[in-house]
């Protein structure tokens, strides 16, 4: 099949409503951080799994690459195509049906293009909770969440995207459809095939639908913005709060003063809830069911004990939804504050939670001699996941900073993380950005198996070429 015939066939499969004209396709051809900009032979939005399957069959026959894309909110360029003549961008946005909610089974079957916030709302309307939650939830999509195994703000309690899936439907590179949407809690019949596609960043197939786990909806949230003595105190406090609440901690987010300062400086609506400045903060939230005053008093008891133990130095507890939102703003909008400041070099790293204090202390000390920079570190401390971001010194552009010292700084951050037994990619994946890091830090055995899986599932190498190990 020659390329232009193949492209004409694909256009016919999706119909006029499914083809995105070049002038409208521009935002889809670059990632949201504008690290990568690509080209595509065609940009399509199929309306159904059947259309996706037909498109892939044609691409397979013609040897055209397929780049699946959801909300395009990724951090590593995993959804950006780059080969103008040979890649088809497959946007899942039109596949946004909630196929089913099963209140007895606590599941929801959704299509890949359902926006995360819409999935959360659908669960809520059924009186239930879909707990995946992150800053980009208003635009990221379930298919992308699953393909990157997204993390976010409630992993400590509910796990990553992978943990919230009972089954998936996947269009395979040859155009076949693997349908595992039974929604069973128990099914040990053979290998766990869905595990291959979750976190594969579209390099093995296109996730088109999923059965998601739902949970009972918590009735009461307690949220506190805490000045803590340091990272060690923050870790001790998270463990204390987990033990003493029967594991009701839903979020435990660390914020360094430097990240808070960026937010206070760059977002006019942000206010420091405490009277004096501190170096370290923890945003701690519990989600519970039962008498609100009992939940509050248990929360206060935990904080009181932490205060007496010297872990907490000052606290602001939210007394309303508005106050809760004001506290969350200070954490959730750090990425935006960094962007408004001119952008940052980002390191999404993970170690065992007990090693977080050493990671922070050593990173600060070991980066200092490598070149001027400003730090902004914060993140999901309850999961051992930090966003250890570096901003250029005042007056230096991000691009120049990246070129001059970025490489050495990044190498030190990742080497240190590896020395502490950690990962260079906790929740943002690999995409294009971290391909070399994967090569560098993964064991030869792991790389060999990843390549074997890739070759077995996508022998012609059409799925998301150039990403992860492809
Ligand atoms: C977050 O936790 C996101 O806010 C983005 O994962 C992190 O921008 C970042 O570095
Ligand atoms: Zn994060």
How far apart, in whole angstroms, are the C-alpha atoms of residue 53 and residue 175?
A: 4
Beta carbons within 10 angstroms of residue 372's beta carbon: 12
Ligand 1: atom nearest CA of 331 is 4
Q: Which of 32, 75, 150 to mutate to test the pocket of ligand 1 (most atoms within 8 A of CB)?
A: 75
Please list, residue by residue across 178-208, b when 16 or more beta carbons sit within 10 angstroms of its beta carbon and e when fewer do: bebbebeeeeeeeeeebebbbbbbbbbbbbb
Structure-token match 């959801």, residue found: 70
Q: How confident is the model at residue 146 (pLDDT cuts 50, 70, 90)?
A: very high
Residue 449: per-residue pLDDT: 98
pLDDT(265) > 90: yes
What is the distance in A from the centroid of ligand 1 to the CA of 335?
6
Q: Are strands 220-228 and 87-91 parallel, antiparallel or unpaired?
A: unpaired
Residue nearest to atom 9 of ligand 1 (CA): 335
What is residue 244's predicted lDDT score, i.e. its pLDDT? 97
What's the gap in Å between 331 CA and the centre of ligand 1?
10
Q: Quote the ligand 1 centre to 15 CA distance (angstroms).
A: 37
Ligand 1 atom with the shortest distance to the CA of 347: 10
In the predicted model, what is the mean pLDDT of residues 120-142?
98
Q: What is the mean pLDDT of residues 34-42?
A: 96
At residue 211's C-alpha, the angle toward residues 208 and 213, to 5°, is: 140
The average pLDDT across 165-192 equals 97
What kind and span of H or E run contains 301? helix 292-308
For atom 5 of ligand 1, which residue has the closest CA? Answer: 335
Q: Give the DSSP H or E segment for 437.
A: helix 435-441
Using the 8-state DSSP alphabet, how is residue 14 labeled? H
Burial of 427 (0-12, 13-18, 19+ CB in 10 A): buried
CB neighbours of residue 434 within 10 Å: 23
Share of the chain above pLDDT 70, in %: 100
CA distance 339 to 387: 14
HSE (CB half, 13 Å, CA atoms) of 157? 27
Please provide residue 271's backbone torsions phi and psi, each rounded to the nearest 5 degrees.
-130, 140
In this structure, the residue with its CA closest to atom 6 of ligand 1 is 152
What the block records as the tokens of 437 is: 């890091």
pLDDT of residue 399: 97
Look at strands 165-171 and 348-350 and give their pairing.
Answer: unpaired
The stretch 12-24 carries a mean pLDDT of 96
Model confidence over 201-235: pLDDT tens digits? 999 999 999 999 999 999 999 999 999 999 999 99
pLDDT band, very low/low/confident/very high, at 463 (cuts 50, 70, 90) = very high
* Residue 384 backbone zone (phi > 0: left; psi -120 to 50: alpha; other: beta): left
Mean pLDDT of 363-378: 98
pLDDT band at 1 (very low <50, low <70, confident <90, very high): confident
Local structure of residue 21 (DSSP, 8 states) = P
Give the whole-angstrom CA distance, residue 104 versus residue 47. 29
Given this model, what pLDDT does residue 470 score? 84
Judged against a pLDDT cut of 90, whether residue 84 lies above it is answered with no
Statement: residue 170 has pLDDT above 90: yes
Q: How far apart are CA 29 and CA 58, in angstroms?
A: 22
Handedness of CA 115, 159, 163, 103 (dihedral sign): negative
pLDDT tens, 397-454? 999 999 999 999 999 999 999 999 999 999 999 999 999 999 999 999 999 999 999 9
Cα gap 346→362, rounded to integer Å: 17
Beta bridge partners of 109: 100, 211
The reported pLDDT for the residue numbered 86 is 95
Is residue 74 in contact with ligand 1, taking CB distance under 6 Å? no
Residue 300 makes CB contacts below 8 A (sequence gap 6+) with 317
Q: Is 357 in the pocket of ligand 1 (CB under 6 A)?
A: no
pTM, entire model: 0.97
pLDDT category of residue 85 using cuts at 50, 70 and 90: confident
Alpha carbon distance 345, 398 (integer Å): 8
Residue 385: strand pairing partners: 350, 380
Complete DSSP assignment for 108-122: EEEETT-BHHHHHHH
Q: What pLDDT score was predicted for residue 466?
A: 96
Secondary structure of residue 100 in the 3-state scheme:
strand
In whole numbers, what is the pLDDT of the chain averaged over residues?
A: 98
Percent of the chain with pLDDT over 90: 99
**Ligand 1 near 333 CB (within 6 A):** no
Q: Show contacts of 186-192: CB within 8 Å, 24+ apart.
A: none
Name the packing angle between helices 231-244 and 292-308 (round to 10°): 140
């Amino acid at each position: 099949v020659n390329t232009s015939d193949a492209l004409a066939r694909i256009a016919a499969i999706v119909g006029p409503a499914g083809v995105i004209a070049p002038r409208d396709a521009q935002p889809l051809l670059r990632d949201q951080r504008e690290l990568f900009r690509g080209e595509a032979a065609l940009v399509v939005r199929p309306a159904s799994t059947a259309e996706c399957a037909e498109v892939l069959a044609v691409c397979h026959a013609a040897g055209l690459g397929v780049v699946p894309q959801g909300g395009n909110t990724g951090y590593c360029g995993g959804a950006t195509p780059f080969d103008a003549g040979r890649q088809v961008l497959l946007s899942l946005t039109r596949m946004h049906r909630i196929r089913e909610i099963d209140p007895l089974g606590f599941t929801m079957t959704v299509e890949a293009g359902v926006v995360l916030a819409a999935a959360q709302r659908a669960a809520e309307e059924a009186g239930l909770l879909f707990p995946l939650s992150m800053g980009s939830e208003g635009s990221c999509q379930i298919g992308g969440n699953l393909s990157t195994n997204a993390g976010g703000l409630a992993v400590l309690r509910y796990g990553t995207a992978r943990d919230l899936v009972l089954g998936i439907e996947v269009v395979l590179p040859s155009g076949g459809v693997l349908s595992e949407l039974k929604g069973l809690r128990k099914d040990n019949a053979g290998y766990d095939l869905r595990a291959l596609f979750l976190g594969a960043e579209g390099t093995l197939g296109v996730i088109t639908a999923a059965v998601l786990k739902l949970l009972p909806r918590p009735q009461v949230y307690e949220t506190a913005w805490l000045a803590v003595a340091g990272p060690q105190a923050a870790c001790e406090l998270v463990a204390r709060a987990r033990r003493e609440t029967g594991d009701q901690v839903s979020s435990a987010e660390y914020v360094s003063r430097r990240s808070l300062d960026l937010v206070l400086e760059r977002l006019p609506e942000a206010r420091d809830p405490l009277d004096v400045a501190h170096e370290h903060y923890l945003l701690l939230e519990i989600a519970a069911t039962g008498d609100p005053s009992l939940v509050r008093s248990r929360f206060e008891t935990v904080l009181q004990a932490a205060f007496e133990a010297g872990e907490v130095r000052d606290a602001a507890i939210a007394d309303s939804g508005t106050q809760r939102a004001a506290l969350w703003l200070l954490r959730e909008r750090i990425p935006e504050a960094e962007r408004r400041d001119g952008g940052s070099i980002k390191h999404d790293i993970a170690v065992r939670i007990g090693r977080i204090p050493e990671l922070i202390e050593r990173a600060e000390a070991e980066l200092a001699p490598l070149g001027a920079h400003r730090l902004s570190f914060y993140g999901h401390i309850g999961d051992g996941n930090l966003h250890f971001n570096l901003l250029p010194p005042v007056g230096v552009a991000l691009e120049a900073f990246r070129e001059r010292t970025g490489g050495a700084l990044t190498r030190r951050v990742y080497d240190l993380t590896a020395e502490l037994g950690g990962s260079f990619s906790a929740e943002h994946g690999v995409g294009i950005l971290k391909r070399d890091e994967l090569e560098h830090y993964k064991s030869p055995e792991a790389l060999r198996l990843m390549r074997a899986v890739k070759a077995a599932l996508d022998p012609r190498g059409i799925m998301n070429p150039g990403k992860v190990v492809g």
